[in-house]
């Protein structure tokens, strides 16, 4: 079997592939047309971030069985197209954890002591001690948004600097917070109390432009902000204005909304330290992810062993046709519930009813956990590590089975417990038509796909018309609408599927409409 390595990969990774008995071609720097012209002859494709594996490339990949990404991010792979074609997509979560955490701390020091600026001045032959007055890290408060692998490592290192650490993560348990030596707070509290703020989350609808004009306004005067996570979490225009006004004293950025940036104005400000996406750029990290992806690709192609797959669980081949529709349903229900749940969850119960109770439920439970954890962790959670991550975060997972499924042949229900409790049920209308049929006390028939607005509202005339008017005015098309209510004139929920996501400003406008109590944007 042949494997194509289309991006720069450590020689150690290529050596592993060859030793496994695979024929390896290294062809870097190919354009889309050239990649499409050659991909049909390969069983495996190993990439980093440069190669764009689009739906067109996947369509041309007539023999491809696996795509391996040396790294965690998969923004450059059309996972839906790969899954539809039965191609396993793997990444290497954790391979750059230490490196990225160390880079965060390096930027923290550089920003606090103006090291790059002072070094640049010296290189120009200028000795100017007064200009580069810094601040100490000792006893300062560091706010960490996102306590996954990287955020947790940053916390451990910051404790060694004797900093006070605040942490925001919806899935961080009290026990885990105590173990890490951090104070668990709301994101608003973190913004208000922190001297330094660092973000370590994926880019999702909930985290997009999390740091913006409004959130900056509640921060301390002289706050300093670090982003080594994803471009787009910080609104760069709002950060620029806050730096110019002096509200924000400094910023350290490794990632940008566009890479490379179209406008380097933000980077040129005196208080800003910038690096060109170097979070994973160490020899050790590149060797770690290269060897990991090579071993994973080899194991799958030679032995059929799936590890760190983001689109397939490890299940016997003969069970795949039967279980796949339920895996899809469970994962989408988990993701849907996660994006509605507003507080830390301590327990997830997956209930299998009717014919669903007769299945091999273990991979379905893992699919539900992956769906639930992915909106926060995204690239670092997969079918292999989802149970481990849930346990690490103090989430107790239970299964229940019952022959009774009411009016349906089979049904899966999720019960999410924390300070509050949410409950949702789903079924299959056909093998390719998963539906969510209950959300808390409301019967519904939701097709869980794409971008949706989940609204809690009063059951009054004009609600739907007002939503349609606001969206229509902004050119956003409504694809489908689903409704559920307790009783006539009482409380209700509305789910509106739209063809494109709403901006934060437009979401706020929808929230202000009469009889609307709350709005959540959900993306599946």
User: Hey, which residues are catalytic here?
Assistant: 230, 259, 277
Could you tell me which residues come within 8 angstroms of residue 483 by beta carbon, excluding any fewer than 6 positions away? 444, 492, 493, 494, 495
Q: For residue 141, what are the β-bridge partners?
A: 164
**CA nearest to 115, candidates 240, 2, 250:** 250
Burial of 98 (0-12, 13-18, 19+ CB in 10 A): middle
Give the CA angle between residues 161, 226, 145 to the nearest 5°.
80
Sheet of strand 410-417, all strands in order from the earlier edge strand to the far edge: 396-402, 347-354, 410-417, 421-430, 433-439, 442-446
SS3 385: coil
Following DSSP, what letter does each residue of 284-331 receive, concatenated?
HHHHHHHHHHHHHHHIIIII----SBSS-----GGGHHHHHHHHHHHH
For CA atoms 29, 33, 38, 39, give the dihedral sign.
Answer: positive
How does DSSP classify residue 17?
H
β-pair type (347-354, 410-417): antiparallel
SS3 265: coil
- Do the beta carbons of residue 191 and residue 218 sit within 8 Å? yes
- How many Å from the N-terminal Cα to the C-terminal Cα in the chain? 35
- Cβ–Cβ contacts within 10 Å for residue 367, how many? 28
């Amino acid at each position: 079997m042949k494997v194509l390595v289309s991006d720069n990969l450590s020689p150690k990774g290529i050596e592993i592939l060859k030793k496994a008995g695979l024929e390896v071609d290294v062809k870097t720097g190919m354009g889309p047309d050239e990649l499409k012209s050659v991909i049909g002859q390969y069983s495996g494709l190993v990439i980093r971030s440069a190669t764009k594996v689009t739906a067109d490339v996947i369509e041309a990949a007539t023999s491809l069985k696996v795509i391996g990404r040396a790294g965690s991010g998969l923004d450059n792979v059309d996972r839906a197209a790969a899954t539809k074609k039965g191609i396993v997509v793997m990444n290497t979560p954790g391979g750059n954890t230490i490196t990225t955490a160390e880079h965060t701390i390096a930027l923290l020091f550089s920003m606090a002591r103006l090291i790059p600026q002072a070094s640049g001045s010296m290189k120009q032959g200028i000795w100017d001690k007064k200009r580069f007055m810094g601040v100490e890290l000792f006893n300062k408060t560091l706010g960490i948004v996102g306590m996954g692998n990287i955020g947790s490592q940053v916390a451990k290192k910051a404790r060694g600097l004797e900093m006070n650490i605040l942490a925001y993560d919806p899935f961080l348990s009290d026990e885990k917070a105590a173990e890490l030596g951090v104070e668990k707070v709301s994101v608003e509290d973190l913004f208000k109390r922190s001297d330094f703020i660092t973000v370590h989350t994926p880019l999702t609808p909930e985290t997009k432009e999390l740091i913006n004009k409004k959130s900056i306004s509640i921060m301390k005067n002289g706050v300093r902000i670090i982003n080594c996570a994803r471009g787009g979490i910080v609104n760069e225009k709002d950060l620029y204005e806050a730096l110019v006004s002096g509200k924000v004293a400094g910023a350290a950025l490794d990632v940008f909304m566009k890479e490379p940036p179209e406008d380097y104005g933000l980077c040129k400000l005196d208080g800003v330290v910038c690096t060109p996406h170097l979070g994973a750029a160490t020899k050790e990290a590149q060797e770690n992810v290269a060897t990991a992806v090579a071993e994973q690709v080899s194991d799958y192609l030679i032995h059929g062993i799936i590890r760190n797959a983001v689109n397939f669980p490890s299940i016997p081949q003969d069970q795949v046709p039967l279980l796949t529709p339920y895996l899809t349903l469970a994962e989408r229900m988990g993701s849907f519930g996660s994006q509605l749940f507003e507080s830390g969850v301590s327990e997830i119960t997956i209930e299998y009813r009717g014919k669903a109770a007769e299945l091999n439920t273990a991979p379905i439970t893992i699919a539900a956990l992956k769906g639930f954890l992915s909106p926060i962790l995204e690239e670092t959670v997969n079918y292999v590590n989802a149970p481990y991550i849930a346990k690490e975060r103090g989430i107790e997972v239970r299964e229940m089975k019952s022959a009774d499924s009411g009016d349906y042949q089979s049904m899966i229900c999720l019960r999410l417990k924390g300070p509050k409790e949410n409950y949702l049920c789903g079924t299959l209308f056909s093998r390719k038509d998963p539906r969510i049929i209950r959300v808390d006390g409301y019967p519904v028939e939701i097709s869980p796909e794409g971008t949706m607005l989940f609204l809690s509202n009063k059951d009054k005339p004009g609600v739907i018309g007002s939503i349609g008017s606001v969206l229509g005015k902004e050119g956003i098309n409504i694809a489908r609408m689903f409704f559920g209510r307790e009783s006539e004139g009482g409380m209700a929920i509305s789910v509106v599927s739209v063809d494109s996501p709403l901006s934060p400003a437009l979401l706020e406008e929808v929230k202000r409409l009469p009889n609307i109590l709350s709005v959540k944007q959900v993306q599946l």
